[in-house]
Amino acid sequence: MTILIPVGADALVVADLRGLIMLPTGAVHDGQTPEQAAQDVLRGATDSLPLLRRVVLASTQTRRRKVITHHLATEPMTRQAVGELIYRDPRVDVRVLPTLRVLDSVTAEGQQRILVALQAMATGTTAHIEGNVVLPSLPPGLQADPSTNGAGGYCSGHARPGPTTTMERT
DSSP string covering 2-62: EEE-EETTTEEEEEEETTEEE--B----TT--HHHHHHHHEE-SSSS--EEEEEEEEEEE-
Asked whether the predicted pLDDT for residue 142 surpasses 90, the reply is no
Query: What φ, ψ does residue 168 adopt, rounded to 5°?
Result: -80, 140
**What is the pLDDT confidence band of residue 10, given thresholds at 50, 70 and 90?**
very high
Q: Are strands 93-98 and 11-17 parallel, antiparallel or unpaired?
A: antiparallel
pLDDT reading at 108 higher than 80: yes
Query: What would the mean pLDDT of 121-142 be, rounded to a whole number?
Result: 82
Reference 24, options 81, 95, 83; nearest CA is: 95
Between 29 and 140, name the one with better pLDDT.
29
pTM, rounded to two decimals: 0.77
pLDDT tens, 17-32? Answer: 988 999 999 988 888 8
Q: Give alpha helix (H) positions in the chain.
A: 34-41, 79-83, 99-105, 108-123
Question: If you average pLDDT over every residue of the chain, what do you get?
Answer: 80
Q: What is the pLDDT of residue 157?
A: 31
Average pLDDT value for residue range 25-52: 84
Examine the pLDDT at 160 and tell me if it is beyond 70.
Answer: no
Q: How confident is the model at residue 67 (pLDDT cuts 50, 70, 90)?
A: confident
61: pLDDT strictly greater than 60: yes
Higher pLDDT, 40 or 161: 40
Q: C-alpha distances in angstroms, 33 versus 39, 52, 128, 150, 160?
A: 10, 14, 18, 22, 13
Of the candidate ranges 42-46, 81-85, 120-124, 136-140, the one whose mean pLDDT is the lowest: 136-140
pLDDT for the residue numbered 51: 79
CA–CA distance, 7 with 98 (Å, rounded to integer): 9
Amino acid, single-letter form, for residue 132: N
